Amino acid sequence: MGDITVRGGIPLHGKLYVQGSKNAALPILAAAILHEGISVIHNCPHILDVENTVQILLEMGCSVEWHGNSLTIFAGTIQNTEISSEYAAQMRSSVIFLGSLLGRMGSAALPLPGGCTIGKRPIDLHLNSLKRMGAKIEEEKEILFAKAQNIHGADIRLRFPSVGTTENIILAAVLAEGTTRIFNAAREPEITELCRFLKGKGAKIRGEGTDRIVIEGVKKLKDSEFVLMSDRIVAGTYLMAAMSAGGMISLEHAPVCQMAAQFKVLKSMGAQLQIGKDKIVMSAPKRPRALREVATQPYPGFPTDLQSQLLAVLCRARGKSRIIENIFEDRYQIVPQLKKMGAQIDTAAQEAWITGTQCLSGTEVHACELRGGAALIIAGLGAAGETTVKESHFIFRGYEDICGDLRKLGAVIETN
């Protein structure tokens, strides 16, 4: 996983199949340890975050086998409830093991996920919620130690509809004594998918997809087989790539019902869309229209995980655009890299103002996180000349084969 070099100015044409969902797979893999038997997960993406999560499962003593894109997990014996920093530090999602380990084993230890501090990331939402369910959690030298003699149900009202916190509460509540009710719960499709997986194993959950989720604890779960949904962020990334380069593309196995906010933005930029049950055909203009204002929001709003990709497209839109980032405070890390390509962007606090330029210029840029890295590829597709993206390993955390997929659409893109 070295550098990625992309030649711009080539319209995209062709068909792709959308991979399985990263943000659904990770909590489902953590959920598999709640059951002492077998979980089979089909359509699981081969990406770095999944591979790191598999390594965590192996460290615990689980048996894990890949068969194509199907993953079989046997969690009969959990020998270790301490997650090493080697894998936890590489992804924030490792924190969801707190809920499943407490629910199954009554104890857990893991480094602060992704190297973040409690003050900067809303991990306090996770910890306070689990404490309400009977957990005792302490931090020592950037390690979280959690114990619970008896995890029990509780009424928990979230001050913000955090996806990760909602997942952690659900994972802890499935085997808990009593009933847990989550108020102001996250409504993301990945939450619904986690609940669908757990209900297939015998969990009693209702209200998923709404802001109030109720979990009645059960004594044990059962073996199950599950087909993972497709990735709405990957689908959106490829649609943004076509908006940057121009052309017409078709996406099969797309999670169409989850993408209304994306479609609204794409149409506003001039895209022509034909939408079927699980298929999207998009014809992109040679140059997109600017957007007066787009704000990221929790689902069903426009996703923060597509904000960087949209920003890259708007760099060469006709007119001035404004983006408001309401979820994360560090989503504009790629702005200096886009400016190296000739983008005209001003930022202040959570807002970005973009004045579109007719053509960006290819150059060497550096990825510093997953979605920003994908956005730099998108910018390169619409630029003149060659763009080289350094530190491309971030991108493979969430995309199985972004270069191979774009080549299928006619892009000239290589990994070095």
Please give the positions annotated as active site.
116
Q: Which residue has the tokens 């480094």?
A: 111
φ, ψ dihedrals at 49, nearest 5°: -65, -35
Residue 128 makes CB contacts below 8 A (sequence gap 6+) with none
Residue 401 buriedness (CB in 10 A; 0-12 / 13-18 / 19+)? middle
Residue located via tokens 């979605």: 371
Q: How many angstroms separate the CA atoms of 398 and 143, rounded? A: 26
Nearest by Cα to 8 from 271, 295, 387, 392: 387
Rounded distance between C-alpha atoms, residue 347 and residue 136, angstroms: 41
Q: Please tell me the distance from the alpha carbon of residue 397 to that of residue 144, in angstroms, as a whole number.
A: 24
Token pair for 393:
């390993």
Sign, Cα dihedral of 232, 235, 239, 245: positive
